[in-house]
Amino acid sequence: MRRSIKNNEEFRREFLKLKKQYEHTYNTLYKNVLASLDPKALPQEEEDTRLEAQVRAHLIHPLLHSLNWRMNVENEYNQTNLSVEVGVRSSGRGTRRFFDCFGFDMDELGSICPLMIVETKRPNLPLPIDTERGDSFLPSTPQIELPNRDEKDVATNISEYLSGKEMNLPMGEWPGWLATLRDYTKSTFDTTGQTPKRVVITNGDWLVIFLDPDDAFLNESRCDPDRIIVFENRQRIVDRYKEVFNWLWHDYLTDKAQTFITPGQLGFNISRSTVTSIIRGIHLLHRKDQGFERIKPSIEVRPIVFLRREHGHWIRVEYKEDGYSLTSNRDGLQEHLGHVAQRADELLGDINGRLECALLPANLGEHYSRNNNLDELKGVKCIKLEYNIAEYLVVTGVNAHFLSRDSHTANCPYHCYIKGRDLGHAINSPKMTSGFDEPCFFPDGDDCHCAHSEIYASKREPVHASNRERCGPRSGDDGSPFCEIYPFERFLCCKACVFHPICSVTEVFRLPCPDQVS
């Protein structure tokens, strides 16, 4: 039995192996067999004349397998989650149409949840590109490396066509392909009541991922190009392997905590007798905002309660409402923390009232100390990552926020770069303003800021197999930074962070600042 892929680095290695096999081993084998059977049909050196069925067998299916999609029961879940050539009743034609690949999940009652539709094409079929550049299509040959803007152009062309705009370029076979994907998506929705989370079309070289099939195919008046991700060839998949992993990894798409229900939906999804534990959290939105003079980050949060059911499935419960904007102003910060705490208590009370119980949230230490908890519900998990916006689910234990209201940070000199420099332990340069690309919400001098060079170095140190035991339980895979909140805040004073008690008991992390608390 092949082991499942657990992180993006394992996927990268697996795909590199598949790429080499396809481009060299299978290519040589194909040409040798073809030369023996039909020498006149030998392709040109740069041309890939393999058929769709061949690219599926030699590349697409192994690629999906490396993302934990399984066509058999020989896996750790003992359950298939991918079918090939499975039919759906077409809403447009009234006949059965067959998916090349159909990824799904199955609940405890045996109901199917559609997760992914994959459509494959012959390797020599191209991507659409703007005619103003002098060519009608972006060639699909692995030897050609084009600028990243061409991938954006392709996404825009597809988006405009799906939105019904008049195109100034020949789309080749793409109108028919997109019509097929639209029919597949609509037919799946009409049949199951659910839209697949991903729709994919590929020829084994280029790859196009529709992140929001509802937006792309069910709304014919608009289609957001930012929700269409294009990889122009296999090398780009290697270069951007983390994105492919994030968007298509089976385990992400089936994560029960990625979707949420409101308290009013609780009774339809869970009963008190099946709840084994409960813990608080926040839904955090990290965004890059353009001001008049500079780009600055904004953070909004809203409370979450996670309920763990039997068999390790977590349900995320939150109100569907605007979040609370974080501020670095001292008085405004205390007011913000108070509002979030009050709303978090209201959410917990609402849940207990509907379930007719008095559930109390576990603390963060308990969550991290239980063996399987972080596999089932990570302390920090990114659920959306784009150029200027990211969303995270953050487990906070009994606390209502990732910022600790009970922290005592005022006496530390390392809030200030200049004082830290005088003591010989300052970061390379002061963070005088908030930043997004190198996340820093609380600037230099704020009681929540840390300018200590050794603390920053510890936060960014990678966790891997050889030091994981000394680092203690961590949310990230091998290669991830030690600091749990590093993706959205790198210069927060550790004493102001709810994860500090988790970090402080490890072998690798100690606070050098005065008046140390743990």
Both 116 and 234 in one domain: the answer is yes
Task: Give the Cα separation of 229 and 244 in Å (integer).
Answer: 9
Whether 331 and 215 share a structural domain? no
Residue 2, domain member (yes or no): no
Q: Does residue 294 share a domain with residue 347?
A: yes
Shared domain check, 158 and 245: yes
The tens-digit pLDDT sequence of the chain (518 residues) is 456 787 888 899 999 999 988 888 777 777 778 778 877 765 555 556 677 888 898 899 999 999 989 887 554 444 688 999 988 999 888 899 999 999 998 754 456 889 999 999 988 888 886 544 434 444 443 333 433 558 888 999 999 989 888 766 667 889 999 999 999 999 999 998 889 999 999 999 999 999 999 999 998 778 999 999 999 999 999 999 989 998 999 877 875 555 678 999 888 878 888 898 999 999 999 998 876 666 778 999 999 999 987 656 788 999 999 999 999 888 899 999 999 999 999 999 999 999 999 999 999 999 998 866 787 889 999 887 777 888 999 999 999 999 986 666 667 899 999 999 999 888 988 887 777 778 889 989 888 999 999 999 999 999 998 999 999 999 988 888 999 999 999 999 999 999 999 999 999 998 887 654 43
Residues 170 and 55 both lie in one domain: yes
Contact 467, 487 (CB under 8 A): no
pLDDT at position 516: 46
Last residue of a domain, one of 381, 400, 419: 400
- The pLDDT assigned to 55 comes to 87
Residue 1 lies in a domain: no
**Residue 3 within a domain:** no
Integer CA distances (angstroms), 162 to 116, 171, 216, 247, in order: 19, 12, 7, 21
Residues 6+ away with beta carbon under 8 Å from 394: 281, 282, 283, 284, 379, 380, 402, 485
Give percent helix, percent strand, percent coil of the chain, each to the nearest 5.
35, 20, 40
Rounded to 10 degrees, what is the CA torsion of 225, 227, 233, 235?
Answer: 130
Question: Under DSSP, is residue 285 helix (H, G, I), strand (E, B) or coil?
Answer: strand
CB 477 within 8 A of CB 13: no
Distance separating alpha carbons of residues 49 and 24, to the nearest angstrom:
14
403 Ramachandran zone, left/alpha/beta (phi>0; psi -120 to 50): beta
- The per-residue pLDDT for 436 is 78
Do 124 and 206 lie in a common domain? yes
How is residue 222 written in tokens?
Answer: 């608009």
What is the sign of the dihedral through the CA atoms of 338, 340, 343 and 344? negative
Query: Both 50 and 172 in a single domain?
Result: yes
Structure tokens at 447: 């009681």
Phi, psi angle pair for 160, to nearest 5°: -65, -40
Provide the pLDDT for residue 412: 87
Give the torsion through C-alpha atoms of 258, 262, 265, 267, to 10 deg: 90
Tell me whether residue 360 is in a domain. yes
* C-beta of residue 15 within 8 angstroms of C-beta of residue 241: yes
Same structural domain for residues 49 and 158?
A: yes
Query: Structural domain of residue 430, as residue ranges?
Result: 403-518
In a domain, 226, yes or no: yes
Per-residue model confidence (pLDDT) at position 119: 96
pLDDT of residue 511: 87
Same domain, 392 and 438: no
pLDDT of residue 503: 94
Cβ distance 360 to 351 under 8 Å?
Answer: no
Number of domains in the chain: 3
Last residue of a domain, one of 231, 253, 275: 253
Structural domain includes residue 463: yes
Cα dist from 70 to 44, 117, 395, whole Å: 35, 14, 30
CB contact at 8 A, 426 and 417: yes
Do 469 and 386 share a domain, yes or no? no
Q: So what's the pLDDT on residue 386?
A: 75
Instruction: Based on the fold, state whether residues 266 and 313 are members of the same structural domain.
Output: yes
Say what the pLDDT of residue 169 is.
65
Indicate whether 243 and 163 sit together in one domain.
yes
Domain limit, last residue, from 400, 435, 465: 400
